[in-house]
């Protein structure tokens, strides 16, 4: 069942005298419970695509429907309300509030939506255990590691059970061990909670944790890979092979 449907997505910047076309008529469908990665060389439009799909930026033309709601025509206030209930975000730089503890950061979305305190505490307890951060719940962001910060960020994205979670280079600031740990946790939450995740990354290792990879080139979809019944290692080889054909995509192990 489709959770997100984007049709004929165009995005350009500038004016009629000098216009840069970043996305040119992209169609994307993401099913409920799917873990999708968007990849492409620098300047390919992958981050712009994530930004318009997640309502951070607006399309120039096209239609985006999430959970049955058309979001492209919504006013700012409507969009803010929609994000509060339906969208979760994980950013490369964590975006945690330094004056709040780990627990307080994670519970913030539930505080905003005025969720019952007992229900909020129960949701926190379960999620903190799943992400392995219960031992640091009373610490502040400057007292924990990068990996713990990003797992805190992930918990905050999942806590209000959004329709879809958007992750922008979530492992970009992490070492390989912390990155693998985070991706394993995200993959586990995708499976156990049937959480829908759309992630942008330059790293084929990170992409191999997803079930489908969409490759963008020059503002258009170049090709897609489905993991299917493959092992993660076999899927990684396919991803790297496609990157080789695309060219110009750098990655780190």
pLDDT digits (tens, 9 = 90+) for 189-201: 999 999 999 999 9
- Position 236 pLDDT exceeds 50: yes
**Which pLDDT belongs to residue 17?**
84
Whether the per-residue pLDDT at 116 is higher than 60: the answer is: yes
pLDDT tens per residue across span 58-84: 999 999 999 999 999 899 999 999 999
Banded pLDDT at 224 (limits 50, 70, 90): very high
Average pLDDT over residues 216-226: 96
pLDDT > 90 fraction of the chain, expressed in percent and rounded: 88
Tokens standing for residue 94: 């964590």
pLDDT at 15: 84
Q: How far does Cα 36 stand from its chain's mean position?
A: 9
**What is the pLDDT averaged over residues 143-147?**
96
Residue 76 and residue 64 in contact, taking contact as beta carbons nearer than 8 Å? no
Q: Which residues pair with 26 in a beta bridge?
A: 9
Domain range summary for the chain, segments of one domain joined by +: 2-247
Tell how strand 212-217 and strand 220-226 pair up: antiparallel
Check residue 70 and give its pLDDT: 97
Query: Positive or negative, the Cα torsion across 131, 132, 136, 141?
Result: negative
Q: Which segments of the chain are extended strands (E)?
A: 2-14, 19-31, 35-39, 61-66, 69-70, 87-91, 164-168, 197-200, 212-217, 220-226
H helix or E strand, kind and range, residue 184: helix 176-192
pLDDT number for residue 112:
86
CATH number assigned to the domain covering 2-247? 3.40.50.300
Residue 249 pLDDT greater than 60, yes or no: no
pTM: 0.92
> Looking at the predicted structure, is the pLDDT value of residue 251 above 50?
no
pLDDT at 113: 83
């Amino acid at each position: 069942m489709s959770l997100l449907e984007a049709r004929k997505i165009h995005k350009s910047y500038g004016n009629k005298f000098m216009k840069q076309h970043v996305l040119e008529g992209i169609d994307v469908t993401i099913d409920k419970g799917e873990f999708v990665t968007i990849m492409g060389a620098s300047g390919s439009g992958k981050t712009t695509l994530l930004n318009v799909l997640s309502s951070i930026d607006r399309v120039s033309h096209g239609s985006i429907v999430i959970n049955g709601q058309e979001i492209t025509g919504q006013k700012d206030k409507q969009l803010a309300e929609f994000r509060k209930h339906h969208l979760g975000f994980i950013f490369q730089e964590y975006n945690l509030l330094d004056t709040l503890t780990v627990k307080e950061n994670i519970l913030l979305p539930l505080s905003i939506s005025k969720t019952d305190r007992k229900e909020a505490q129960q949701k926190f307890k379960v999620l903190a255990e799943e992400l392995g951060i219960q031992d640091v719940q009373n610490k502040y962001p400057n007292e924990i590691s990068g990996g713990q910060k990003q797992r805190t960020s992930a918990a905050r994205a999942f806590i209000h059970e959004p329709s879809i979670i958007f992750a922008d280079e979530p492992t970009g600031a992490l070492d390989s061990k912390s990155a693998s740990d985070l991706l394993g946790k995200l993959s586990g939450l995708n499976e156990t909670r049937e959480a829908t995740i759309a992630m942008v990354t330059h790293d084929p290792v990170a992409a191999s944790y997803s079930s489908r990879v969409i490759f963008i080139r020059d503002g258009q979809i170049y090709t897609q890979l489905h993991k299917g019944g493959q092992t993660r290692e076999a899927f990684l080889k396919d991803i790297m092979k496609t990157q080789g054909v695309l060219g110009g995509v750098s990655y780190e192990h």
